Amino acid sequence: MEDYMKQALEIVKAQAGVRNMSEEEITSMVQALSQKLKNLEEGTQEQEEQQEQQPAVDPKKAIREKSVICLECGKQFKVLTKKHLATHGLTPAEYKEKWGFKKTQALIAKSLARERKKKMQEMQLWERRKKKSGGDQ
């Protein structure tokens, strides 16, 4: 086994020790890391960036019931934040365009989106606003 692969396995093993990772995530992370380590040593980083980047998972399957998978690095989140995307040098709009999401697509787990929608409907802030503005007249 190459040194790059051993190094990548050690890194992924450490990562898997601190958070739950699916088999798919572990595999893609090991592959990506070993290739990056190899490229760094051989100085071919520029060539890799010129090649078409492959997503960590199928973009259609990235937004799941309980998580969202970052297509850049393969990590799982409940919400794919602007701060995380900035670590990849992308804005949310650039990320959505790059991976073929609609501009209006929320980068949030489906269950969390439903919870938030339900909470907003219960709060009915628009009704409060109507009452407030109606009372001022």
Residue 73 near residue 53, CB atoms below 8 Å = no
Question: Residue 50 pLDDT > 50, yes or no?
Answer: no
* CB atoms closer than 10 angstroms to residue 98: 15
- The model's confidence at residue 5, banded by pLDDT at 50, 70 and 90, is confident
Render pLDDT for 59-118 as a digit per residue (tens, 0 to 9).
888 899 999 999 988 889 999 999 999 888 899 999 999 999 999 999 999 999 999 999
Rounded to the nearest 5°, which phi and psi values hold at 105? Answer: -65, 125
Q: What pLDDT was estimated at residue 11?
A: 85
Give the pTM: 0.54
Burial 127-136 (b: 16+ CB within 10 A, else e): eeeeeeeeee
Domains contained in the chain, CATH given:
1-51 (no CATH), 55-137 (1.10.10.1550)
Question: Residue 135 pLDDT > 60, yes or no?
Answer: no
* CB atoms closer than 10 angstroms to residue 104: 6
Half-sphere exposure of residue 88: CA atoms within 13 angstroms, side-chain side: 20
